[in-house]
């Protein structure tokens, strides 16, 4: 059976710059500012930003539960060699399917406001 590495990359979203008063995180108006609350809080020391990556399943507990809910079916398909047929050709979300062992997919989180984010899932074949 082919083995893969799965990573989830923040592709679109706003984390802002985490602000604190002592140990307390200062909470902005997320919807008004278009900030993703999960990205803003990040790892507690800094906000997550576009381009940050998380390994799956190792970092699943560090990711937003809403985002994880959107990702679950896709991650299961990719983990076992599946792909989804739509390509989004000519868009920002154009996919790669098994080019040199790499496949990409895009998923939007369910937040209906402009605070929502898009994740890029990257599956890389592990060659031994």
pTM of the model: 0.94
Give the pLDDT of residue 11: 98
pLDDT given at position 37: 97
- Sorted by sequence, the CB contacts under 8 Å of residue 67 that are 6+ apart come out as 8, 38, 107, 109, 117, 119
Task: State which residues of the chain have pLDDT below 50.
Answer: none
* Cβ-Cβ contacts under 8 Å for 100 (sequence gap 6 or more): none
Q: What integer best gives the mean pLDDT of the chain?
A: 95
Percentage with pLDDT > 90 across the chain: 94
For 120, list phi and psi in degrees, rounded to 5. -110, 125
């Amino acid at each position: 059976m082919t083995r893969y590495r799965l990573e989830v990359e923040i592709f679109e979203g706003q984390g802002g710059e985490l602000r604190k008063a002592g140990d307390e995180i200062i909470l902005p108006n997320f919807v008004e500012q278009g900030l993703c609350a999960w990205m803003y809080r990040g790892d507690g020391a800094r906000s997550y930003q576009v381009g940050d990556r998380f390994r799956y399943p190792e970092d699943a507990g560090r990711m937003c539960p809403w985002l994880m809910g959107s990702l679950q079916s896709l991650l299961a398909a990719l983990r076992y060699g599946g792909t989804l047929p739509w390509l989004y050709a000519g868009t920002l979300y154009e996919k790669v399917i098994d080019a040199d062992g790499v496949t990409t997919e895009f998923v939007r989180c369910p937040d209906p406001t402009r605070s929502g984010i898009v994740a890029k899932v990257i599956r890389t074949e592990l060659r031994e």
